[in-house]
Chains A and B, each alone.
Chain A
Amino acid sequence: MRNRLALRTLALGYLAVLLLVPVGFVFYRTFEHGVSAAFDAVTTPAATHAFWLTIELVAIAVPLNTIFGVVMAIALVRGRFRGRSIVSAFIDLPLALSPVVIGLALILVWGTKGWFGQWFVDNGLQIIFSFPGLLLATIFVSLPFVVRETVPVLREIGTEQEEAAQTLGARPFQTFWRVTLPAIRWGVAYGVILTTARALGEFGAVSVVSGHLAGSTETLTLHVEDRYEAFDLTGAYAAAALLALIAVATLVSMTLLRRRRGDVGWASS
């Protein structure tokens, strides 16, 4: 019994020192000078712009990756084509890459000295140091999650119901819409939450391709760094606290969804 208590203290102590106290302290620092000071700090023009830019990126990247994720998962599980395991490995690649390397890779293709960048600039579309570059970076880093969460669920439900629907005369699209999608919806939803969290919070890749223009190409995470570097700690803590709040909301929805699906593990790949 004494042993058990010692282990519990050790584990919780570690979590407290590394995780809970620091995160709590950021909230304390944010509201140290009152709620209105914190509110003012996140409603400066630069902060507001950064917030909406981040929301725009998420609003485009998440639906695209969701559609891609579901289609890809179905192709990987139900399809019969060669090189499926290679495709699957490539989808996981963004998880193994340093965000800085991802940013560099995008510059090399879409930057003015890159493979296609100059052509796009000549045709009036600047990609790097501009919105399309940020979007490409966001899509890249958040690509794997829907696929990874949907594949195991698709495997688990099997093909019997889909075959039954087809025998009864359902067209492929009807089968997908009425049979497959309802069965995988919680897996997809979980993937969407992970995608959103990653897209909102990405820093390294967007930092490389952004150009850091406040009020133009500065996302919320970049804004945190910018404020910190400018010694505006209230601004940095307030923006960080806003992001942390979104993270906590993400966490709560993850927990609720997991309970719904009835498992304890994370990312059941």
Chain B
Amino acid sequence: MGYLSVIVLLPLAAVAARSMDGGLDAFWRAVSGAEAVAALKLTVIVSLIVAALNAVTGTLIAWVLVRDDFRGKRQISALIDLPFALPTIVAGLTLLALYGPRSPLHVDVSFTRVGIAMALLFVTLPFVVRSVQPVLLTLEPEAEEAAASLGAKPRQVFRRIVLPSIAPAILSGAGLAFARAVGEFGSIVLLSGNRPFRTEVASVFIYGRIQSDDITGAAAVSIVLLLVSLAVLIGIGLFGRRAVRDEE
């Protein structure tokens, strides 16, 4: 308990206290500055897009890994966790090597918002796959086969039979991916160029404030960032509890 307090709680209390150092006025001025607003807006919008894309691609990958059968499937399934195991700075460098200024494919997404989205897609890849995959495994394929034999088209089978059962898992996976994307730093820092108003995300903005010794400003934006990801996580928690109750 003491360990938890010293390691986690005390520092967080310090951030909250520091963000209010100059009173509410100073807090508001720090988070409503044009550069801070631009960074926060960019972060939330890109994270939303990334979460939505993940919902589609993650479901697709999970479906292929569960219902399809091909050689090397097990290895592919294990590889899904690679972004969790790979240090974020390595993830950023990896994308930069192939899709950066010295790209052998002549595709250069560095210093663009597309690059940021790609980095976020890379680091959040496992969330939706790993939350949908176990649910799909427990679904009996019989219901799908029955629907298909009664003349339902594949799209109908998916929308009417499969989707309703996996929707909660997709949502919670996408929510986790969003929370992760909002705070992401390591994979973006090399790739985004960090140009204020264009490619500067919130975590990079905070980092810049710390470097230029504007600690109160950094703390204020940190609190906003923290509230955004907490709101999402609490939302997932409530949603999950309701889903469980509905099933009972």
**Residues of A at under 8 Å CB distance from B?**
3-4, 7-8, 10-12, 14-15, 18-23, 25-26, 29, 64, 68, 72, 87, 90-94, 96-109, 113-115, 136, 139-140, 143, 194, 197, 200-204, 207-208, 221-222, 224-225, 228, 236-237, 240, 243-244, 247-248, 250-252, 254-255, 263-267
How big is the B interface, by class?
35 or more
Map CB proximity to A onto B6-32 as digits: 1 under 8 Å, 0 otherwise: 011111101101100000000000000
Map CB proximity to A onto B94-108 as digits: 1 under 8 Å, 0 otherwise: 110111000010000
On whether the beta carbons of B84 and A197 are closer than 8 Å, the reply is: yes
Q: How far is the CB of A12 from chain B (nearest CB, A)?
A: 7
A255 to B80, CA, bound (A): 11
**Chain B: CB-nearest residue to A265:** B134
A interface majority secondary structure: helix
Q: Which residue from A7, A105, A197, A266 sits with its C-beta under 8 Å from B130?
A: A266
On whether the beta carbons of A101 and B183 are closer than 8 Å, the reply is: yes
Total of A-B residue pairs, C-beta within 8 Å: 234
Q: Which residue from A11, A204, A222, A251 sits with its C-beta under 8 Å from B81?
A: A251
**Residues of B at under 8 Å CB distance from A?**
1, 3-4, 7-12, 14-15, 17-18, 57, 60-61, 63-65, 67-68, 70, 76-90, 93-95, 97-99, 104, 118, 121-122, 125-126, 130-131, 133-134, 137, 154, 179, 182-186, 189-190, 202-204, 206-207, 210, 215, 218-219, 222, 225-226, 229-230, 233
Q: Which residue from B4, B14, B64, B126 sits with its C-beta under 8 Å from A114?
A: B14
B interface majority secondary structure: helix
A105 to B4, CA, bound (A): 14
On whether the beta carbons of A247 and B82 are closer than 8 Å, the reply is: yes
Residue pairs across A and B with Cβ atoms less than 8 A apart, 21 shown, are A11-B63, A11-B65, A15-B61, A22-B99, A23-B86, A64-B3, A87-B4, A93-B12, A97-B183, A100-B204, A100-B222, A101-B222, A104-B222, A108-B219, A194-B84, A202-B87, A203-B88, A221-B88, A265-B133, A266-B81, A266-B84
On whether the beta carbons of B82 and A100 are closer than 8 Å, the reply is: no
Contacts of A106 in B (CB 8 A): 11
**Chain B: CB-nearest residue to A200:** B87
A10 to B204, CA, bound (A): 33
On whether the beta carbons of A100 and B61 are closer than 8 Å, the reply is: no
On whether the beta carbons of A104 and B9 are closer than 8 Å, the reply is: no
A249 to B28, CA, bound (A): 47
Q: Which residue from A92, A103, A237, A251 sits with its C-beta under 8 Å from B85?
A: A251
A109 to B215, CA, bound (A): 12
On whether the beta carbons of A240 and B14 are closer than 8 Å, the reply is: no
On whether the beta carbons of B186 and A204 are closer than 8 Å, the reply is: yes
Contacts of A207 in B (CB 8 A): 185-186, 207
On whether the beta carbons of B86 and A98 are closer than 8 Å, the reply is: no
On whether the beta carbons of A224 and B93 are closer than 8 Å, the reply is: yes
On whether the beta carbons of A97 and B229 are closer than 8 Å, the reply is: yes
On whether the beta carbons of A26 and B97 are closer than 8 Å, the reply is: yes
